[in-house]
């Protein structure tokens, strides 16, 4: 399932600061809930506007920040005590990460306040991001890199009906590693 822009905004506006950050990291950066739970200021490069780190199965992610995500991350990172502190800790007066399942409860509560009854969760925001990227670029390899998937077949699952124009050779072509940008 994908999440419409209007529903995202309705819930986003009803959400607290921590949930807003989680929602943006899921939708705009395509990160998994566990990765979001562990993200720190050290994962944020504000000069290059990139997020990087490790995710499921020790896979690496490197994704650009949207303008909205950049602004939110900059604000939250300015409140951290150190670069290794989970960003979600900054929202807790005791500086502890919320219980992992608490994030899901935040979403349910915000959806209720917003009057949104459609059944969707954080992974649906990730799927929404993948499908939007594919619709904009028609590049399955970009979607694969965005989602940090080892196999392109994993990424195809996220595309659903959007991926029907795929040819068998699209699935057999090896993924080319993204060249590293030279820094001056």
Delimit the domains of the chain by residue range: 5-120, 123-172
Per-residue pLDDT of the chain (184 residues; tens, 9 = 90+): 899 999 999 999 999 999 999 999 999 999 999 999 999 999 999 999 999 999 888 888 999 999 999 999 999 999 988 888 899 999 888 877 777 788 899 999 999 999 999 999 999 999 999 999 998 998 988 999 998 888 888 888 778 765 556 565 665 656 555 555 555 5
pLDDT for position 170: 60
Q: What are the residues facing 60 on neighbouring strands?
A: 54
CATH superfamily membership of 5-120: Intergrase catalytic core (1.10.443.10)
Residue 14, judged by CB atoms within 10 A of its CB (0-12, 13-18, 19+), counts as middle
What does the alpha-carbon distance between residue 125 and residue 25 come to, in Å, rounded to a whole number? Answer: 9
Residue bearing tokens 């989602």? 147
> Radius of gyration (Cα) for the chain, nearest Å?
17
């Amino acid at each position: 399932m994908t999440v419409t822009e209007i529903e995202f905004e309705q819930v986003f506006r009803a959400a607290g600061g921590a949930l807003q950050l989680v929602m943006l990291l899921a939708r705009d950066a395509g990160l998994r809930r566990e990765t979001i739970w562990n993200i720190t200021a050290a994962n944020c490069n504000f000069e290059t506007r990139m997020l990087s780190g490790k995710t499921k199965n020790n896979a690496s992610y490197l994704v650009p920040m949207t303008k909205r995500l950049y602004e939110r991350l900059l604000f939250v990172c300015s409140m951290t005590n150190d670069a290794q502190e989970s960003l979600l800790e900054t929202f807790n007066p005791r500086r502890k990460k919320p219980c992992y399942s608490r994030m899901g409860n935040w979403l349910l509560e915000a959806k209720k306040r917003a009057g949104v009854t459609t059944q969707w969760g954080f992974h649906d925001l990730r799927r929404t991001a993948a499908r939007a990227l594919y619709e904009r670029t028609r590049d399955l390899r970009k979607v694969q890199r965005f989602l940090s998937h080892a196999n392109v077949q994993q990424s195809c699952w996220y595309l659903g009906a959007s991926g029907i124009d795929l040819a068998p050779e699209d699935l057999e072509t090896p993924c080319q590693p993204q060249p590293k940008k030279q820094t001056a």
